[in-house]
Amino acid sequence: MLASFNPAEIPRYSVIRAPIALPGSGDTETQKLFVTLLHRDAHVVCFKTTSQLAFYRNNPEVAAGCVFYPAGKLTFFPKDTAIQSNNIWPVHYSKLTDPAQVLGRLPDDFGAMLVRAVQNAVDLDPVWKKAILKEIT
């Protein structure tokens, strides 16, 4: 018998695929990729990823608050991808029902890259910045 999937056991810095309703989309949910940070109140708190990089390419001071991976370096990022330290989402455990939603873990050096990104983030609220750094350092 297979063990049941428990989203509360998804490790930090895992890449997950989860449905979310983006602002302006009403109740329409879209599958998006996230990087897990911590667990709170039946949620996994995550950083949203994006492959829409034009904004960051034109704004290097804002790009400094992201961790970037080139297309294909990691199997779960087929396109150039930014992990946005200023784009934090709580994903409720009810949205995570299938172990296949956990795509893998980021490399060991991700933690240090995230610390630098958070420290350099010009568009991250100072309260959030302090809380994130306390959690990851």
Confidence of residue 9 (pLDDT cuts 50, 70, 90): very high
pLDDT at position 3: 64
Return left, alpha or beta for 13; rule: phi > 0 is left, psi -120 to 50 is alpha, else beta.
Answer: left
Q: At what angle do helices 110-120 and 126-136 cross, to 10 degrees?
A: 160
CB-CB contact of 23 with 34 (8 Å): no
- Identify the bridge partners of residue 48 per DSSP, sorted by sequence position: 34
pLDDT at position 2: 52
- Identify the bridge partners of residue 108 per DSSP, sorted by sequence position: none
Which domains can be identified in the chain, with CATH numbers? 7-136 (2.30.30.110)
CA atoms within 13 A on the CB side of 60: 0
pLDDT at position 66: 98
Give Dmax (Cα) for the chain.
52
pLDDT at position 4: 85
Residue-wise pLDDT for 76-131, tens only, equals: 999 999 999 999 999 999 999 999 999 999 999 999 999 999 999 999 999 999 99
Chain position carrying tokens 């995230």? 114
Residue-wise pLDDT for 11-66, tens only, equals: 999 999 999 998 888 889 999 999 999 999 999 999 999 999 999 999 999 999 99
Q: Residue 1: is its pLDDT beyond 50?
A: no
Chain position carrying tokens 């100072």? 126
How many Cβ atoms sit within 10 Å of the Cβ of residue 62? 18
DSSP code for 70: -
